[in-house]
């Protein structure tokens, strides 16, 4: 059988685009915060991020704008925004392509099709797409060229997605024969067919992004422009949970990719998982692992990464649900102090102008409550000031879970009765430690060559839910162990994908499972029994259980946790693996806290200091705050604020045009219409006058003498509110 290897897709060599040094490619562009919208500017959605990604030549699927892309770009530029362009690579307002308006031929046969013959639709007349050569020409000519002509020099092609349950369309069959050199095989009929189909889906979108971005950069140069190209994508955790195939880590091998957006929000993070025998939503923990997988996936590239949060989500819920889960995902993203660029929200039109239930048990719908919009604006504006930090989340460092792109390849359909409910073979390695307060990190099999394990003391891995796509990863793993690393391999090696025709059983290799090849490099029996093995300076523990077994039953993880803890203590030279129920981090003047439920204790955590509570729209100053299990906290710690000059510490509007004089402080504050701003401002002395648009609004009760801060409230205005303090 002719089974092509992915051409360079799983290594980090660079090809396909014009060569430029990475440092030059990924230099700072002045954009720290951004958002996406299909709308033209309007006063109710003017959230004052640095940049806006204007969505789609035709707008957002399901909500076409009715205005030209040039008009929408112009409307945001006139309001002072840096303007970029975003559209989908796997779906979009591309009806003119499918109906034949573009080239005179209909192309509905290029939709992704599942086994029963049904096309998988993203929206009305918007199928998920098999990215054929003709379709990519359409994207380049009809969309990319047009926005570059309109002056756009940053293009975001989002969500390269191919559903795992798809693979039955005529277009896909043709791509199969072109890629593999033999006739298409129904993906559901065997594990090998499933594997081959998903590898092809992966490669198709890898090639699609390479081709579109290479064109964008080349065409931009003809107009004297340096066009940057970004991939907004869900995490590997989420795509694997949702049974979608996407290029993920292999995008690091494309030099024409300048950066990424980690698309993590309530809708992805609330996907249920198992822990201690219970299936449930664990939004903070899942978001933490999602953001972590995106950071570790792209860290070797040095490229720009935005973290996304969404104050609401795609599915209609009530406002309290939105608020609670927004806080959880927001806190999770900030636990990664090496990331300080943010997409503050997608679709502000649905955040500010959408109608949602006032409570879970009510059908009454309303716009975003003023208290929530004020809190949200405070949170969003804090991201404009969020610093990078060398600090780390508290707890035992160096426990890492290994991942690989092929996590997405084995999800559906079920073969030979082997099930991995809710991705439990991944969460079974991560949650037993994360829930006990260990700041678990992830590493990607594809990135080992770039030192992905440099800070790892104990590496947890399994081939129960993914497989290595080449042998090089094993050589790096074996060398890491030989140099002193501790590897825990937990798998029965019995899932039906162990024997698909791949490199470990082809071209002279005769290994019954990929782990057998890894073990052979370390002098371990290929069918090693449970136990501890030595290799060089390092240690290998083999556990003959699939990781899902640690979480599908109550208390089933205890022996595993105990064994890993003992290995960690040796690897950490006598330091215990610390168990607790809280994560905390200091980033400049900001304090982050998350308290776990289902942990070693149900005790709340108390943070102390001179604190401004940023999750409270009144911005109260307190000296301590109790945070209960299952909740998070976000504060400014005034004890770490650099004082000496007046400054807005926290605000529901964004300030500019600051003027500081010997006894006065003025600035212009802008924010979206129909929202209330609250600001806490540090002043050298008690104010004698506080003016908003020239009117004195001084309130003696608003002065907090112990912190030397004044609490000011006013209605936001996108044209700006002039604020003046006099003392």
User: pLDDT per residue over 285-316, tens digit each?
Assistant: 999 999 999 999 888 888 999 999 999 999 99
Local confidence band at 44 (pLDDT 50, 70, 90 cut-offs): very high
- pLDDT tops 60 at residue 26: no
Residue 45 has a pLDDT of: 98
Find tokens 């939709």 and name the residue. 111
Is residue 361 a part of any domain in this protein? no
The most distant pair of C-alpha atoms in the chain lies apart, rounded to whole Å, by 85
Final residue before a domain boundary, out of 512, 537, 571: 571
Task: Please list, residue by residue across 477-514, b when 16 or more beta carbons sit within 10 angstroms of its beta carbon and e when fewer do.
Answer: bbbbbeeebbbbbbbebebbbbbbebbbbeeeeebebb
Is residue 619 a part of any domain in this protein? no
Local confidence band at 725 (pLDDT 50, 70, 90 cut-offs): very high
Is residue 275 a part of any domain in this protein? no
- pLDDT tops 50 at residue 56: yes
Same domain, 651 and 539: no
Final residue before a domain boundary, out of 571, 597, 632: 571
Is residue 516 a part of any domain in this protein? yes
CATH code (residue 541)? 3.40.50.880
If you average pLDDT over every residue of the chain, what do you get?
Answer: 94
Same domain, 404 and 499: yes
Plot region of 694 (φ>0 → left; ψ -120 to 50 → alpha; else → beta)? left
Residue 29 has a pLDDT of: 82
Local confidence band at 11 (pLDDT 50, 70, 90 cut-offs): very low
Residue 5 has a pLDDT of: 39
Same domain, 567 and 679: no
d(C-alpha 482, C-alpha 599), whole Å: 35
Residue 300 has a pLDDT of: 80
Residue 12 has a pLDDT of: 37
Same domain, 467 and 559: yes
- 533-581 tens-digit pLDDT: 999 999 999 999 999 999 999 999 999 999 999 999 999 999 999 999 9
Is residue 429 a part of any domain in this protein? yes
Is residue 509 a part of any domain in this protein? yes
DSSP secondary structure code for residue 600 in this structure: S
Same domain, 660 and 559: no
- pLDDT tops 90 at residue 454: yes
- pLDDT tops 60 at residue 13: no
Same domain, 548 and 651: no
Local confidence band at 24 (pLDDT 50, 70, 90 cut-offs): very low
Q: Is the model more confident about 267 or about 26? A: 267
Find tokens 């100053």 and name the residue. 621
Final residue before a domain boundary, out of 547, 571, 595: 571
Same domain, 526 and 657: no
Is residue 424 a part of any domain in this protein? yes
Same domain, 659 and 565: no
Same domain, 539 and 656: no
Same domain, 556 and 682: no
Record the pTM. Answer: 0.95
- pLDDT tops 60 at residue 230: yes
Q: Which domain holds residue 690?
A: 647-726
Same domain, 658 and 560: no
**Total count of domains within the chain:** 2
Residue 9 has a pLDDT of: 38
Is residue 554 a part of any domain in this protein? yes
Residue 123 has a pLDDT of: 85
CA neighbor of 619 nearest in space, from 573, 681, 691: 681
Same domain, 564 and 420: yes
Contact 167, 180 (CB under 8 A): no
Give the side-chain half-sphere CA count within 13 A for 63. Answer: 11
């Amino acid at each position: 059988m002719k089974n092509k290897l992915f051409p360079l897709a799983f290594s980090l060599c660079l090809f396909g685009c014009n060569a430029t040094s990475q440092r030059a490619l990924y230099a700072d562009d002045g954009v720290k915060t951004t958002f996406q919208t299909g709308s033209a500017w309007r006063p109710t959605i003017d959230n004052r991020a640095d940049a806006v990604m204007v969505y789609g030549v035709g707008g957002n699927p399901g909500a076409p704008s009715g205005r030209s892309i040039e008009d929408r770009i112009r409307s945001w530029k006139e309001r002072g925004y840096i303007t970029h362009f975003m559209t989908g690579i796997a779906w979009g307002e591309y009806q003119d392509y499918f109906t034949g308006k573009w080239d005179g031929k209909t192309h509905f046969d290029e939709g992704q099709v599942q086994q029963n013959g049904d096309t998988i639709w993203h929206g009305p007349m918007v199928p998920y797409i098999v990215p054929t050569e003709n379709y990519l020409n359409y994207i380049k000519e009809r969309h990319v060229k047009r926005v570059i002509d309109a002056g756009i020099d940053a293009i975001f092609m989002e969500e390269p997605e191919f559903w795992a349950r798809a693979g039955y369309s005529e277009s896909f069959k043709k791509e199969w024969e072109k890629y593999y050199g033999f006739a298409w095989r129904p993906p559901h009929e065997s594990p090998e067919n499933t594997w081959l189909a998903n590898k092809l889906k992966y490669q198709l979108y890898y090639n699609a992004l390479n081709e579109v971005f290479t064109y964008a950069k080349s065409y931009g140069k003809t107009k004297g422009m340096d066009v940057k190209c970004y991939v907004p994508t869900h995490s590997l955790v989420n795509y694997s949970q949702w049974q979608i195939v996407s290029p993920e880590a292999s995008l690091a091998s494309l030099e024409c990719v300048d950066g990424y957006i980690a698309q993590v929000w309530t809708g992805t993070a609330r996907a249920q998982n198992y822990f201690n025998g219970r299936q449930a939503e664990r939004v903070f923990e899942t978001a933490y692992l999602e953001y972590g997988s995106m950071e570790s996936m792209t860290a070797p590239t040095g490229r720009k990464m935005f973290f996304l949060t969404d104050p609401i989500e795609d599915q209609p819920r009530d406002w309290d649900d939105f608020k609670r889960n927004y806080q959880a995902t927001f806190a999770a993203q900030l636990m990664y102090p090496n990331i300080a660029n943010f997409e503050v929200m997608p679709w502000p039109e649905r955040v500010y102008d959408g109608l949602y239930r006032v409570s879970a048990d009510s059908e009454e719908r309303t716009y975003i409550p003023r208290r929530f919009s004020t809190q949200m604006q405070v949170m969003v504006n804090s991201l404009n000031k969020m610093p990078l930090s060398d600090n780390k989340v508290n707890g035992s460092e160096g426990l890492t879970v290994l991942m690989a792109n092929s996590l997405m390849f084995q999800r559906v359909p079920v073969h030979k009765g082997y099930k991995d409910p809710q991705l439990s073979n991944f969460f079974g390695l991560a949650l037993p430690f994360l829930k006990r307060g260990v700041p678990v990190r992830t590493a990607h099999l594809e990135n080992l060559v770039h030192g992905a394990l440099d800070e790892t003391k104990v590496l947890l891995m399994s081939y129960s839910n993914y497989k290595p796509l080449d042998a090089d990863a094993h050589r790096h793993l074996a060398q890491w162990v030989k140099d002193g690393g501790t590897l825990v391999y937990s798998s029965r090696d019995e899932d039906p994908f162990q024997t698909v025709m791949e490199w470990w059983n082809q071209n002279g290799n005769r290994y019954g499972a990929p782990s057998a090849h890894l073990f052979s490099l370390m002098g371990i029996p290929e069918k090693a029994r449970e136990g501890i093995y030595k290799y060089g300076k390092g240690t290998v523990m083999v556990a003959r259980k699939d990781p899902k077994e640690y979480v599908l039953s109550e208390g089933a993880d205890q022996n595993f946790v105990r064994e890993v803890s003992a290995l960690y203590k040796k690897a950490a030279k006598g330091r215990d693996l610390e168990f607790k129920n809280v994560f905390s981090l200091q980033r400049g003047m900001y304090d982050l806290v998350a308290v776990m439920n289902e942990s070693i204790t149900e005790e709340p955590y108390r943070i102390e200091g001179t604190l401004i509570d940023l999750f409270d729209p009144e911005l109260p100053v307190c000296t301590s705050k109790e945070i209960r299990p299952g909740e998070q906290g976000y504060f400014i710690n005034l004890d770490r604020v650099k004082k000496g000059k007046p400054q807005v510490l926290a605000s529901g509007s964004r300030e500019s045009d600051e003027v500081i004089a010997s006894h006065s402080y003025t600035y212009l504050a802008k924010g979206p219409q129909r929202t209330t701003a609250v600001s806490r401002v540090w002043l050298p002395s008690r104010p004698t006058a506080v003016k908003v648009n020239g009117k004195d609004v001084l309130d003696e009760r608003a002065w907090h003498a112990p912190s030397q801060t004044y609490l000011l409230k006013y209605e936001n205005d996108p044209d700006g509110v002039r604020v003046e303090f006099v003392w």
